[in-house]
Amino acid sequence: MDFSILNQPYKLSKDQIDFYKKHAFIKLKHVLDEETLNYFNEIVSIKVEEINQQSTPLEQRNTYEKAFLQLFNLWREDEKIKNLIFNKRLAQLATDLMEVDGVRLYHDQALFKEAGGGITPWHADQYYWPLSSSKTITAWIPLQATSLEMGPLEFSAGSQEVLTGRELSISERSEQLIQKNLKINDFPHIIESFDLGEISFHSGWVFHRAGKNETDEIRKVMTIIYMDKNITLKAPENEGQQNDWETWCPGVKIGSEVNSAINPILFEY
């Protein structure tokens, strides 16, 4: 397999960087090619099937569990998948969009929304992260073309400064309360399909959701969460942040750089 595209730079325009700065998300086309995505679709699917422990029927799960199968840090499970997670192309994009000198890995996630899977409620990712600044960004990488019927990621453009709802975990309550507040404040709600090779990047504090998967196929997505390479650990403010500290920043002390063995620098200038 030729992985050369994974290390080739993707040049952003000033307009694209400005768009991200204003809206806290951006969608970029032709980031990866069909051959690369088909390869990782197969490799990641095999690994997800191997390590997935969710056996409860879909209709018996809670809202969070219906949203997706969620498996973490596949780079530690498979050397082939590590090639995707450690690629310089996406890490450079994350660095340039956040306008920092370099990025570390926070962790990766496979998010597989099963056929008939439910909504992913409105939320902001950084509710769960014990990190000291907003210099965080997630690459959302569909492993196939993703139609509106499959439940692609949706964004509330420019909502990163909204405080209401930041205290809510992913739930039916977050869906209802955040949606109501975003409507009142009239933030643009961006709902679009993803072409094959199209990838989005979004800030830790921008509100986003995904619809149901109304197809008979699994919506397969990998995500890579990046953080400013100089970001520090803050004291956890909820159980989710406490768990993330112990799980994704092992051994890091409050106030120190998040530089554990599983938070390597993936790109720097």
pLDDT tens, per residue, the chain with 269 residues: 788 999 999 999 999 999 999 999 999 999 999 999 999 999 999 999 999 988 888 888 988 888 889 999 999 999 999 999 999 999 999 999 999 999 999 999 999 999 999 999 999 999 999 999 999 999 999 999 999 999 999 999 999 999 999 999 999 999 999 999 998 888 999 999 999 999 999 999 999 999 999 999 999 999 999 999 999 999 999 999 999 999 999 999 999 999 999 999 999 99
Fold classified for 23-268: Jelly Rolls (2.60.120)
Residue 34: the pLDDT is 96
Helix (H, G, I), strand (E, B) or coil at 6: helix
CA 41 to chain centre: 17
Longest dimension (CA), the chain: 50
Residue 86's pLDDT is 98
Paired with 112 in beta bridges are 69, 220
Residue type, 185: N
Query: In this structure, is the dihedral angle defined by the CA atoms of residues 233, 239, 240 and 243, taken in order, positive or negative?
Result: positive
CA-CA-CA-CA torsion sign (227, 99, 85, 202): positive
* Amino acid 184: pLDDT: 86
Q: How far apart are CA 101 and CA 268, in angstroms?
A: 6
Question: Sign (positive/negative) of CA torsion 220, 194, 152, 12?
Answer: positive
Q: Where are the domains of the chain?
A: 23-268
pLDDT at 66: 83
Q: What is the pLDDT of residue 59?
A: 87
CA distances from 219 to 13, 36, 201 (A): 30, 17, 18
Write phi, then psi, for 88 (nearest 5 degrees). Answer: -80, -25
